[in-house]
Homo-oligomer: A and B are copies of this chain.
Amino acid sequence: MTLDLAGDPVALTAALVDFESVSGAEGPLTDEVFAALQSLKNYELTRDGDTIVARTNLDRKHRVVLAGHLDTVPIADNVPSRREGDLLYGCGTSDMKSGDAVLLHLAATVEDPAHDLTLVLYDNEEVEASKNGLGRVSRNHPDWLAADFAVLLEPTDGTVEGGCQGTLRAKITTHGKRAHSARSWHGVNAIHAAGAILDRLNGYEARQVDIDGCRYREGLNAVAINGGVAGNVIPDRCDVTVNFRFAPDRSEAQAEAHVREVFEGYDLEITDSAPGALPGLSAPAAANFVNKLDAPVQAKLGWTDVARFATLGIPAVNFGPGDPNLAHQAGEYVDTRKITAAVQALRRYLQAN
Contacts and interface: CB of A to CB of B under 8 A. Distances in A.
A231 to B, nearest CB: 5
A184 B242 CA distance: 12
Nearest to A204: B192
Interface string A173-211: 000000011111100010110110011011000000000
Contact of A182 (B222, B233, B302): B302
B202 A192 contact: yes
A171 to B, nearest CB: 11
A186 B342 CA distance: 29
A165 interface: yes
Contacts of A201: 189, 192, 195
A245 B184 contact: yes
A217 B185 contact: yes
A74 interface: no
A182 B168 CA distance: 11
B222 A235 contact: yes
A225 B227 contact: yes
A223 B181 contact: yes
A198 to B, nearest CB: 3
A232 B223 CA distance: 7
Contact of A189 (B199, B222, B228): B222
Given A181-B243, A182-B167, A228 B228 contact: no
Contact of A184 (B198, B221, B224): B221
A348 to B, nearest CB: 31
A199 B199 CA distance: 8
A253 interface: no
A217 B183 CA distance: 8
Nearest to A232: B243
A217 B198 CA distance: 29
A189 B202 CA distance: 10
16 contacts: A181-B221, A182-B303, A183-B301, A185-B219, A189-B201, A189-B221, A191-B223, A191-B240, A192-B198, A195-B202, A199-B199, A223-B228, A223-B232, A224-B227, A224-B228, A225-B227
Interface of A: 165, 167, 169, 180-185, 189, 191-192, 194-195, 198-199, 201-202, 217, 219, 221-235, 238, 240-241, 243, 245, 272, 301-303
